[in-house]
Amino acid sequence: MKNTAKRIGILTAGGDSPGLNAAIRAVGKAAIGEFGWEVLGFRDGFLGLAEDHWLPLDKPALSGILTVGGTILGTSREKPHRMEIDGQVRDMTDTIAANYRRHRLSALVCIGGGGTHKNALRLVKAGLNIVTLPKTIDNDVPLTDATIGFDTALGIASEALDRLHSTAHSHHRIIVAEIMGHRAGWLTLGAGIGGGADVILIPEIPYTPEKIAAAIARRAEGGRANFSIVAVAEGALSHETAAAFAVAKRKKQQARTAEKRKIAKAELKELDLRHAGNTLRLARQLEELTGLEARVTILGYVQRGGTPSVTDRILATRLGSACVSLIKEGRFGVMVAARGNTTTAVPITDVAGNLKLVPTDHEWVRAARRVGTCLGD
């Protein structure tokens, strides 16, 4: 009798995030327990598939990892078409496809954020059966209500703001807390609201330092409050910087020659470099404008570590188990998205290269404004 058992692969790519192991566990346990499939895990993202570094994900390997942070498979940001191998940058797409077929995989599950979806789409075009799961603490993957890791990071960032209140109040200071989020402000906005920040600055709403200083000064009027908490996304921009970026991006879009595109890209890179350290500059500006002492706390990678929240464990389990059902149905080239209390499959082509940004009229934005939070504009 012909063996019809399936074998699927799993990899995690991009930055680490709470809930990755919960997702790996969900995919593996559903595949093994419900359908009797064999499951392989590829180490360090797409690099592991290119270099054929893998491990069997059997029941013992999947046991006890639900609450463990990080990823048992490891991760990297290597891209299939631009991968550094033996000191040289090479296109490894054909090698990845060959290894996929040599292992007789029926499907490959890629768990990651924006970059992972771009890379997954390349493998779809190379003829591989791909299903993806959305993971990022930034919550910026489009067409899904939530991404794996966001809830945990939101709790960590909110708790950090809670703890900063006592220092700010005791020393009559401005505390500027930098929260992750290069291009999308979901994490900073949510943490700022949940952690009672007085000022919230996100990439989608350019700020003016003078307006922030005025809001802080109003808090001090009449002795109401002699401290302020400023939650700032690492990608937050002043009006001036946002305008410069807009001009540079427009130049790149309108460039008709390779030379002009090169110049525009160099200008964008220079703006990125100048933007580094923006939170420290903002703190100095606020000191000068208000006369109050300002201190900076950069939460950094602590937001991505530790035990995933129960909400993230449930989300990862929902998406991972639904992923296996899609593979069983032969539905590929899709991302498993969370929609309310259900899941749905959306084309990777609609996800790759797109971002879910905070609408400036979003309910969270309106709520922040109603309770008197300054958004810098």
Rg, Å, the chain Cα set: 23
Residue 361: name the closest of 205, 234, 187 by CA.
205
Q: Interhelix angle for 186-194 vs 150-171, to 10°?
A: 50
Task: Reply yes or no on whether 138 is catalytic.
Answer: yes
CA distances from residue 226 to 168, 201, 293, 368 in whole angstroms, order as listed:
9, 20, 11, 21
Residue 299: name the closest of 199, 207, 161 by CA.
161
Residue 211 parent element (H or E): helix 209-220
Interatomic CA distance for residues 165 and 14, integer angstroms:
33
Interatomic CA distance for residues 179 and 366, integer angstroms:
20
What DSSP state is assigned to residue 176? Answer: E
Phi and psi (nearest 5°) for 40?
A: -115, 140
CA distances from residue 206 to 42, 209, 220, 231, 361 in whole angstroms, order as listed:
41, 10, 24, 14, 14
Interatomic CA distance for residues 282 and 177, integer angstroms:
11
Q: Which residues contact 102 (CB under 8 A, 6 or more apart)?
A: none
Q: Contact at 8 Å (CB) between 214 and 160?
A: no
Rounded to the nearest angstrom, the gap between the alpha carbon of residue 342 and the centroid of all alpha carbons in its chain is 22
Interatomic CA distance for residues 3 and 20, integer angstroms:
31
Selecting among 138, 151, 198, 312, the annotated active-site residue is 138
- DSSP string covering 27-73, please? HHHHHHHHH--EEEEETTTHHHHHHT-EEE--HHHHTT-TT--S-TT
Coil, strand or helix at 147: coil
Q: Could you list the active site residues?
A: 138
